[in-house]
Amino acid sequence: MIYTDKVMDHFRNPRNVGVIENADGVGEVGNAKCGDIMRVYLKIEDNMVKDAKFETFGCGSAIASSSMATELIIGKSLEEAWDLSNKAVAEALDGLPPVKMHCSVLAEEAIHKAINDYREKQGLGAWDFEETDHDALHDHVHGEE
Ligand code: FES
């Protein structure tokens, strides 16, 4: 499997790893079967993402995706952060192998959940999104490997 230099860079030196104490929003997504878990912490001020950190227990592509995704949303408005798609994350990494695209979906959804966690705590109401069935994705992907 060929990984781009950017994927390798963000895998070896992930940005924004860790926990934000008293985060304004926390989102966690995981896959029960393979054990990949991603947790995203957001610090939000004036509708802007002031800081973002993540913890990922997963494959290299999941780590690189969370690293890149947090880089891309820091300094953005909540709306812009919400609109960050997994495809944009993969493009910013100069691409992910097709069987690894679902790893970037984890990053997109962890951010969605963290934003909704914040919105619910503020009494703003959650925004709609469809959570992917990660177990099914993994079965599908692993079947192709
Ligand atoms: Fe499950 Fe990458 S996150 S294989």
Distance from C-alpha of 52 to C-alpha of 74, rounded to nearest angstrom: 6
| CATH for the stretch 5-141 | 3.90.1010.10
Domain boundaries, the chain: 5-141
Q: Kindly report the pTM of this predicted structure.
A: 0.89
Instruction: Count CB neighbours of 140 within 10 A.
Output: 12
CA of 102 to the centre of ligand 1 (A): 7
Strand order in the sheet with 25-30: 25-30, 37-45, 48-57
Token code pair at residue 28 = 């966690």
Instruction: Count CB neighbours of 25 within 10 A.
Output: 24
Nearest C-alpha to atom 4 of ligand 1 is from which residue?
A: 59
Whole-number average pLDDT of the chain:
90
CA of 46 to the centre of ligand 1 (A): 34
Give the tens place of pLDDT for each residue, 37-89: 999 999 999 999 999 999 999 899 999 999 999 999 999 999 999 999 999 99
The answer for residues whose C-beta is within 8 angstroms of residue 62's C-beta and 6 or more apart is 36, 38, 56, 103, 104, 106, 107
